[in-house]
Amino acid sequence: MPKWGMVIDLDKCSACQACVTACHLENNVALPTAASASKSRSIYWIQMLPMKEGRYPHFKMKMIPVLCFHCEHPPCTKVCPVKATYQNPEGIVGQIYRRCIGCRYCTTACPYTVRHFNWSEPEWPKEMVPSLNPDVSCRMKGVVEKCTFCHHRLQKAREQAKMENRELKPGEYLPACVEACPGQAMYFGDLEDETSEVTKLSREPRAFKLLEDLGTEPKVIYLG
């Protein structure tokens, strides 16, 4: 059974936000507006965040893309009273929008605060509505949503492989953000596979995980 994971090379990342845009379009994430931004209610499944290190004069600032880390030991799935969020056997943390009761316990339990809540009915500019992605269900007001590692793409790729009577090949399943990254700073693959690129990169001395000491074992690994 594969364990899907991501490696992001921060030395290659130019913070261009192509991943953010690609994610919004792929996953039918409602577009941030001035109103939602001013209330800190915009939804991003992946977001560029400023990571400040040290103090002046030893100050360093990095922009890092932050998404759901699909923790191996997710604090969010435990606390959901209705099993609306769960970890599938391949390590992807999913969310059942139609079951979620909107108690926001998972959002408060997540130490990375990467879970988002639909404070109102999601809206898109009129022109965008026909181009919503039919593979991804739209969310409704009052439920929690977050990155799914573009799980629908895995399903599609797997169907394709099955039709052609072969195994799924590495690189066949990529989330939209990885695919869109112009600097090729993002890698995606099977962390269980010894030979995969993500496994090799995750063993580099540069590799680190966010809040690693919490023991959540994130499956998004940074290089930098």
What is the binding site for another protein (CB under 8 A)? 39-41, 49-52, 66, 75, 78-84, 99-105, 107-109, 111-113, 116-121, 141-144, 210-211, 214
Provide the CB-side half-sphere exposure for 10 (13 A, CA): 20
**Strand pairing report for 4-9 and 220-223:** parallel
Measure Cα distances from 95 to 78, 81, 91, 140, 146 in Å. Answer: 13, 13, 13, 13, 8
Which CB sits closer to another protein, 108 or 131?
A: 108
Q: Is the dihedral of CA 36, 39, 42, 47 positive or negative?
A: positive
Minimum gap (Å) between residue 76 Cβ and another protein: 10
**Strand pairing report for 220-223 and 46-53:** unpaired
Which CB sits closer to another protein, 132 or 211?
A: 211
Minimum gap (Å) between residue 41 Cβ and another protein: 5
Closest to 187 measured CA to CA, from 1, 2, 9, 3: 9
- Beta carbons of 153 and 175 less than 8 angstroms apart: yes
Which CB sits closer to another protein, 36 or 133?
A: 36
Minimum gap (Å) between residue 92 Cβ and another protein: 18
CA angle in degrees (0–180, nearest 5) for 89-206-223: 60
Which neighbouring-strand residues pair with 61?
52
Minimum gap (Å) between residue 18 Cβ and another protein: 21
Which CB sits closer to another protein, 58 or 83?
A: 83
Minimum gap (Å) between residue 127 Cβ and another protein: 24
Which CB sits closer to another protein, 12 or 39?
A: 39
Which CB sits closer to another protein, 61 or 163?
A: 61
Minimum gap (Å) between residue 52 Cβ and another protein: 7
